[in-house]
Amino acid sequence: MLKTILCVDDDPITLMLCKKVIKKAEFSEDVLFANNGQEAFELIQSLVNKKQNDTEINLPQLIFLDLNMPVKNGWEFLDLFNTTISNEFLETKVIILSSTIDPSDYNKAKQYDIVSHFLSKPITVEMLENLKPIYS
């Protein structure tokens, strides 16, 4: 089981679904949530700061990221993450979880080394079961 993961989505129902499915699949001990790329980035940054004082703090090992979000979308989050704080997260991977059908989104995702999977919503128990052997 993973220690901490982060789910980023602007849709509260999707987040609720994530929470329930992750719990049901026993995929991670802790689940953090953010409503858009900006919130996610700020959350991570505050965790990084806290970790300097308290080594007990766990940084998310996996991020489920939606693409279409207000304020900062998934791509903007990835760019910001890559350019500023990715050094702290050598182990962290991002899974894009989206409803997009635009082929250019799939191609764009391939350009980010940090992105390990591109999955189509909804998140399901089977999906997480398949991911388990890869991330634990």
Interface residue list for another protein (CB under 8 A): 11, 13-14, 17, 20-21, 24, 68, 98-103, 120-125
Report in angstroms how near the CB of residue 40 gets to another protein at its nearest. 18
Residues found in the chain = 136
Report in angstroms how near the CB of residue 61 gets to another protein at its nearest. 23
Q: Are 74 and 66 in contact (CB under 8 A)?
A: yes
Q: Are 107 and 73 in contact (CB under 8 A)?
A: no
Q: Which is nearer to another protein, 14 or 28 (CB)?
A: 14
Q: Which is nearer to another protein, 88 or 105 (CB)?
A: 105
Please give the Cα distance from 100 to 108 (Å, whole number): 12
Q: Are 36 and 70 in contact (CB under 8 A)?
A: yes
Q: Which is nearer to another protein, 46 or 120 (CB)?
A: 120
